[in-house]
Amino acid sequence: MALVSPPLGATVPASPHATVVSLPTLADVEGYERKDPATLRHITVGYPRFVRNRLVGEAAARAAAALGRTGELFPLVSRVAALAWAARAGAAVSSLDEVGDWVLLTTPPGDAAARFAKFVQHTGILISSRQADAYLAPERRHVGAPPAPVQAALAPYLAGVAPADLLLATSGMNAAAAAIAAIDAVQRPRGRRAWIQLGWLYVDSTRLLEKAADAPHYFIADVRDLAAVERLLAAGDVAGVLTELPNNPQLETADVPALRALCDRYGARLLLDPSSVGLATVDVLPWADILCCSLTKYAAAEGDVMAGVLAVNPSRPDAAALLAAAREHLAPLHPLDTAALAAQVGRLGEVTARLSATAAEIARRFAAHPAVARVRTADTGPTAAAFRALRRPGAGAGALITIELRGEMRRVYDRLRVVKGPSFGLRCTLTTPFLWLAHFDQVTTEAGRAEIRAAGLDPDLLRVSVGAEPPEEIWAAFAEALG
């Protein structure tokens, strides 16, 4: 059976809780980024930190009507998170009401509300679609679950951590935000505020570091440049170093043992994020002070759950203080989403292995195709040895492939017959012009494109997440589009 590209606004899967929305042409991507009404009228569901799910919007509107509230409406997971991030954004809180197991914050329209909306995106503190649905339709049977089954399923991949100390978050970014906050809580009393971003990171991780007004943020583009890391660490004011293993979308990996040694020498804490390949692919907790990882990918491979996990390495200095601070700042996964995740997480190892094996075959074919200028995978290129040093026995390189084309990206993207939208690590193959979605303001200006190239990336790259379909079906779709 040939793969297809669903129409604009279609959800994958066909569920009100889907995390992927179809953007089948580059013009659709541009309309989405520019908030063109002609595009947005088709989109009622999307990646939930960026697109407010229809159910979430309806829940906010209903609660506001019942309470007589007006202004910008933010249905958020808790009072603590709402107040903390509104203060960080400088947003005036007009009202804050408890609505069942969530809160509705209202703020006047304007620049501060827009800043707050971005922090809500970065940190994943919006209520989930399942939580909203339970409010809208309480007569329906909504069955949640405790975290223990999910923690037990993840425990083999995070050895040494008590299952109860594996903290399940509303998203991978919420886990990352809590981990950054935990390190800050421990390090700032010591006079350490600065952060080092090693490599091109996922956009929201970068924005959280950039927007810390009272903390220097240093960006080192090349994950191999540990000499630059050491020069910054030697100043003595660095709280933490954050890197992804591998980073997204470059798929390059730092020399983590060497990075660990540098952090120890200079008193910095090391935060590692293996979301790109998943917990079943690499074993990085032994090198980390804190690990954060998205479970929206690989663990929730059906594409209908947002979740993340945070783990503190109990053998590292400050472990108890870091864990306590992380618990304070993390937004726990809602029981309804925990139940949905519990039904899928047990297949994490199996799904990851299948996606990785098929991705390896598709990557080999990309490398041989004359229309493809460059292929990136985690286990090829200049940092392959660093990745392999972290890889679990028998594991592959994850689902992700980044390709750079010799011809026009728009033509290939528009012709491609696969699901086209954000996210990765799902059972369906996905493709996205990643930088057009994550860094639209940069890819649409010559200065911005130059910045991207200076960081070692092609602004028009395509990020491919290989799914569980038969390899020949996947390849047929790409071969046709590549011409």
Report the CATH number at residue 224.
3.40.640.10
Please tell me the chain's helix, strand, coil percentages from 3-state DSSP, rounded to the nearest 5. 45, 15, 40
User: Residue 58's closest CA among 82, 75, 79?
Assistant: 75
Residue 119 parent element (H or E)? helix 111-123
- Tell me: do 121 and 236 sit in the same domain: no
Give the tens place of pLDDT for each residue, 201-243. 988 899 999 988 789 999 999 999 999 999 999 999 999 999 9
Q: Is 400 helix (H, G, I), strand (E, B) or coil?
A: strand
Name the residue with tokens 């129409």: 7
Mean pLDDT (whole number) for 83-89: 95
In a domain, 1, yes or no: no
Residue 104, beta-bridge partner list: 75, 97
Both structure tokens of 387: 């990745």
Give the tens place of pLDDT for each residue, 22-62. 999 999 999 999 999 999 999 888 888 888 999 999 999 99
In the predicted model, is pLDDT for residue 130 greater than 90? Answer: yes
The 10 Å CB-count burial string (b at 16+, else e) for 201-214 is bbbbbbbbbeebee
The pLDDT score that the predictor gives to residue 46 is 82
Give the tens place of pLDDT for each residue, 169-203. 999 999 999 999 999 999 999 999 999 999 999 88
Residue 194 parent element (H or E)? strand 194-198
In a domain, 360, yes or no: yes
The pLDDT score that the predictor gives to residue 48 is 85
pLDDT band at 71 (very low <50, low <70, confident <90, very high): very high
Both structure tokens of 313: 């390495």
The pLDDT score that the predictor gives to residue 51 is 87
In a domain, 6, yes or no: no
- Tell me: do 259 and 381 sit in the same domain: no
CA distances from 446 to 126, 450, 456, 474 (A): 34, 6, 15, 34
Q: Which of 345, 366, 397 is the last residue of a domain?
A: 345
- Tell me: do 436 and 300 sit in the same domain: no
The pLDDT score that the predictor gives to residue 213 is 79
In a domain, 138, yes or no: no
- Tell me: do 294 and 359 sit in the same domain: no
- Tell me: do 434 and 458 sit in the same domain: yes
- Neighbour tally for 354: CB within 10 Å: 18
- Tell me: do 320 and 421 sit in the same domain: no
- Tell me: do 331 and 218 sit in the same domain: yes
- Tell me: do 243 and 195 sit in the same domain: yes
For residues 100 and 102, what is the distance between their CA atoms, to the nearest angstrom? 6
In a domain, 137, yes or no: no
- Tell me: do 158 and 188 sit in the same domain: yes
CA distances from 143 to 19, 300, 340 (A): 20, 18, 10
Task: Let me know: does 379 contact 391? Beta carbons within 8 Å.
Answer: yes
In a domain, 368, yes or no: yes
Mean pLDDT (whole number) for 463-476: 98
Mean pLDDT (whole number) for 141-145: 94
In a domain, 48, yes or no: no
In a domain, 303, yes or no: yes
pLDDT band at 433 (very low <50, low <70, confident <90, very high): very high
- Tell me: do 108 and 194 sit in the same domain: no
Q: Can you list the positions of beta strands (E) in 66-184?
A: 72-76, 95-99, 102-107, 167-169
The pLDDT score that the predictor gives to residue 45 is 82
pLDDT band at 1 (very low <50, low <70, confident <90, very high): low
Q: Which of 345, 369, 388 is the last residue of a domain?
A: 345
Average pLDDT, the chain: 96
Give the structural domain span for 277: 148-345
User: Residue 224's closest CA among 196, 255, 261, 270?
Assistant: 255
- Tell me: do 170 and 122 sit in the same domain: no
Name the residue with tokens 């010799």: 406
In the predicted model, is pLDDT for residue 367 greater than 90? Answer: yes
Give the tens place of pLDDT for each residue, 160-175. 999 999 999 999 999 9
Give the tens place of pLDDT for each residue, 288-336. 999 999 999 999 999 999 999 999 999 999 999 999 999 999 999 999 9
- Tell me: do 355 and 325 sit in the same domain: no
In total, how many domains does the chain have? 3
Q: Give the CATH number for residue 432.
A: 3.90.1150.10
Mean pLDDT (whole number) for 1-9: 89
Q: Which of 317, 345, 373 is the last residue of a domain?
A: 345
